[in-house]
Amino acid sequence: MTATVLDGKATAAAIREDLRARVKALANRGRVPGLGTVLVGDDPGSRAYVDGKHRDCAEVGIASIRRDLPADATQQQVDEVVAELNADPACHGYIVQLPLPSQIDTQRVLEAVDPDKDADGLHPVNLGRLVLGYDGPLPCTPRGIVELLRRYDVPLRGANVTVIGRGTTVGRPLGLLLTRRSENATVTLCHTGTRDLAAHTRSADIVVAAAGVPGVLTADMIRPGAVIIDVGITRVVGEDGKGVYTGDVAPDVAEVAAALAPVPGGIGPMTRAMLLTNVVERAERL
Ligand SMILES: Nc1nc2c(c(=O)[nH]1)N[C@@H](CN(C=O)c1ccc(C(=O)N[C@@H](CCC(=O)O)C(=O)O)cc1)CN2
């Protein structure tokens, strides 16, 4: 068996196309959605991700609001930029690119973001809304996973889903999303304290690998015909000495799985598309 590729790149492009039409409709009502980014420091990876978000905005017609601060920025400077974006009516949603430099208190910054402008959907208020089943911006990566599965007609209702990784951006909120009544999956959340990981992955219809450990999921750990979602993205040095992205899923998994969302080209592009979606939805609601 060679797994069908769940193509996040193509799916994200289709979503951006739909968003373009919605942004046009908003423009006809005199409203231009705006996405803000806050980047602190000069980490090339973070800069590339932020550049990508602004390229996406330009493609869809969303206005970009970019605030870049130096690596030695103070807590006060970051707090001021957050306060400015909270107050800016042209900014419908924004993100603070993570990780932040060590002198910055990340929790304090993220909690200062206006929850209604939290385009990442990761503010404690929004995670609380998710727990309670209230409306609010959904975390982009979990939302992207559910959307990709939906568009490929992978059934979730009653499915056994094993998630590897309990991080706050993917694993934990994904468990909440998948167990809503609208999805109705049964979720097993595995982590470093899990005793027999393979026993949990082998019994799953769908496995989501979000541990950030390259190759943690191998072919012998899955049921033939399972659907596999790779979320772990680690930059490693390839044989040619150049940097390449590798996922949590070993290459041999594609020989056993029915379908696979790969790294790169799977959930990463979907995450970016969901960020734009959160901003457009907020502009539509106002
Ligand atoms: N505030 C946030 N910070 C960070 C997040 C986040 O969701 N919110 N996630 C990561 C970085 N990230 C988005 O910011 C991100 C990482 C990777 C991709 C992506 O599309 N990856 C590609 C491969 C890389 C490429 O080709 O550029 C893929 O998987 O195909 C999107 C977003 C940490 N910080």
Mutate to test the pocket of ligand 1, among 96, 271, 272, 278 (most ligand atoms within 8 A of CB): 271
Q: Is it the case that residue 30 has pLDDT exceeding 80? A: yes
Share of the chain above pLDDT 70, in %: 100
Question: Which numeric CATH code is attached to 140-268?
Answer: 3.40.50.720
Taking a C-beta distance cutoff of 8 angstroms, is the pair 4, 259 a contact?
A: yes
Residue 53 is among the residues annotated as catalytic for this protein: yes
Structural domain boundaries in the chain: 29-121, 140-268
In tens, the pLDDT along 227-267 reads: 999 999 998 888 898 889 999 999 999 999 999 999 999 99
Residue 97 is among the residues annotated as catalytic for this protein: yes
In tens, the pLDDT along 87-128 reads: 999 999 999 999 999 999 999 999 999 999 999 999 999 999
Question: Would 29-121 and 140-268 be classified into the same CATH topology?
Answer: yes
* Model-level ipTM above the cut of 0.95: no
CB of 139 within 6 A of ligand 1: the answer is no
Ligand 1 centroid, distance to 235 Cα (angstroms)? 12
As given in the structure block, the two tokens for residue 22 are 């919605």
CA 37 to CA 20: how far, in whole Å?
Answer: 20
Ligand 1 centroid, distance to 226 Cα (angstroms)? 25
CB of 269 within 6 A of ligand 1: the answer is yes
pTM summary value: 0.96
Q: Which residue has the tokens 């996922």?
A: 247
As given in the structure block, the two tokens for residue 172 are 């934990």
7, 56, 118, 120: which one is catalytic? 120
3-state SS of 63-86?
EEEEEEECCCCCHHHHHHHHHHHH
Top-level CATH class of 29-121?
alpha beta
